[in-house]
Amino acid sequence: MNPRFSRRTGLTAALAGPLALAACGRHTVDPPKSVTQDQIDEAMRTPTELNFWTWVPDIEKEVALFQDAYPAISVDIVNAGQGNPHYAKLRTALRAGNGAPDVAQLEFQMIPSFVITEDLLDLGPYGAAAIGDQFVEFAWSQVSGPNGEVWAIPQDTGPMGMLYREDIFQAHGIEVPATWDDFAAAAQRLHEADPEVYLTNFAPSQGAFFAAMLWQAGADPFGGSEGPDLNVDLTSPEAEKVARYWGELSEQDLISVDADFNDQWYQALNKGKYATWIAPAWAPTFLQSAAASTSGLWRVAPLPQWEAGQAVSSNWGGSTSAVMATTRNPIAAAVFAQFINTDPQSTATMANEQFLYPPTKALLEDPAFTGQQLEFYGGQEVNGLFAEIGTTVAPDFQWAPFQDKVYADFTATVGTGVAEKTDAFAAMEAWQARIEEYAKYQGFTVRKP
């Protein structure tokens, strides 16, 4: 069995990873107080090569627009993987002191994880401080530091809604649930009527979904953390409410607990095992290709509420463009990050051709975007609905400075607890304990408000 090189990759990676960290005095930019327009013009006329890591398909379109505007700058696009593999490589390159890109795609929840390691360049002095009002508030607050830093430029967002199968709802006389209580009642009714169908699926490894649920309920577990002082509060009454809700639905076998984004899950979506998918604004496009056989059967509604009459949503996913502190071309990189995410043509292309749900007010108020009738959703104006939902997203939700670890621990504790129908609140306590232990090990001062 010698040539199991693949199997050794783990060990090799574990050994080689640190090797790359031979911190040979890495270069970082000393952020200037302000950058004059002359300096910017000068830099944008100087032939420069930018390296850009992203997994957005067809990003060449937006890059081409940038290069038309700034012919002296050429942009080299690298797809280093999506999500975790991308971050692992990015971290390794940043710590190695060479090989890191000038600009990289970062999901919102990863920004604090790169701020804590001082890997991001504050874009405020490069003109970004003045563009905040072009973006919806919750998106801009996610990229802003406590002292007015601008750590990244929002590219797309995912305000949460509920995608549901109108045909299944109609067949069993179920109304679109307005509150979580209605939702639980509907889950029971549907499952009794047809044991093969579940009102929804709770994916045990989808920490991002659970974070969105906490966010909507008003729990802000890491809120108020600053630098080495970390707040962790996963056992607040709001968080407990969310955990118990999903735990009880699972205990009564009213929802399924399948892992998501794998073949089994795609088939389940196609074959109507789940009557809803509680999902964000990027989900409608995703579903069109993932469950193509169900075209016309789906509709979109706002998220069920904890209190009748409320309208509160949250966010799941979405990305930004961030400039690495190691860049040799801070001005060009900062201008590039702003250009692709604010230029009207570039943002319109992203929204209408790559179907990234936009964070810019201009597009969210543009009838050409919001008025699109999607056949897959029976002609519903899905973009417009999500634009409305976007205005109800609470702007204050803070991510941990090691959010990927928080998600991994979620799967091991709460995800597994809900899936295996054990006490969901005990699982929250276990999650809290794991994070506290890890945070202390990493040198944080842990406070529990």
Partner 1 sequence: MTATTQTRNRQEGPRPSTPTARKLRRGRALAGYMFVAPFMIVFLLMFLVPLLYAAYFSLFREQLVGGNVFVGLENYTRAFGDEQLWTGIARVCLFFLIQVPIMLVAALAFALALDTGLVRLKRTTRLGIFVPYAVPGVIATLMWGFLYGPDFGPFAQLAEKIGMSAPDFLGPDLMLGSLANIVFWEFTGYNMVILFAALRSVPTEIYEAAAVDGAGQWRIAWSIKIPALKGALAVCMIFSIIGAFQLFNEPQLMQSLAPTVIDAAYTPNLYAYNLAFVGQEYNYAAAVSFVLGLVILVGSYAFMFATNRRSRR
Positions touching partner 1 (CB under 8 A) are 1-2, 4, 6-11, 13-19, 21-22, 84, 88, 91, 116-117, 204-205, 227-228, 258-259, 261-264, 267-268, 271, 273, 401-402, 404-405, 408, 411-412, 415-416, 419-420, 438, 441-444
Q: How far apart are CA 133 and CA 128, in angstroms?
A: 10
Say how far residue 172 (Cα) sits from the centre of its chain.
Answer: 34
Q: How far apart are CA 300 and CA 281, in angstroms?
A: 10
Q: How far apart are CA 123 and CA 152, in angstroms?
A: 7
Least spacing, CB of residue 24 vs partner 1, in Å = 13
Q: Give residue for tokens 């050994």.
A: 15
- With H, G, I as helix, E, B as strand and everything else as coil, classify residue 418: helix
Least spacing, CB of residue 212 vs partner 1, in Å = 18
- With H, G, I as helix, E, B as strand and everything else as coil, classify residue 380: strand
Which of 84, 345 has the CB closer to partner 1?
Answer: 84
The H-assigned helical ranges of 28-165 are: 37-45, 60-69, 84-96, 111-115, 137-143
Contact yes or no for 139/154 (Cβ under 8 A): yes
Which of 259, 348 has the CB closer to partner 1?
Answer: 259
- In 3D space, the residue among 153, 99, 90 whose CA is nearest the CA of residue 119 turns out to be 90
Least spacing, CB of residue 190 vs partner 1, in Å = 17
Residue 128 one-letter amino acid: A
* Inter-helix orientation angle 60-69/330-342, to 10°: 120
Which of 169, 444 has the CB closer to partner 1?
Answer: 444
Q: How far apart are CA 312 and CA 254, in angstroms?
A: 24
Least spacing, CB of residue 430 vs partner 1, in Å = 13
Least spacing, CB of residue 92 vs partner 1, in Å = 8
- With H, G, I as helix, E, B as strand and everything else as coil, classify residue 374: strand
Least spacing, CB of residue 191 vs partner 1, in Å = 16
Which of 73, 96 has the CB closer to partner 1?
Answer: 96
Contact yes or no for 407/149 (Cβ under 8 A): no
Tokens representing 318 are: 């979405």
Least spacing, CB of residue 333 vs partner 1, in Å = 24
Which of 236, 413 has the CB closer to partner 1?
Answer: 413
Least spacing, CB of residue 110 vs partner 1, in Å = 12
Q: Which residues pair with 393 in a beta bridge?
A: 313
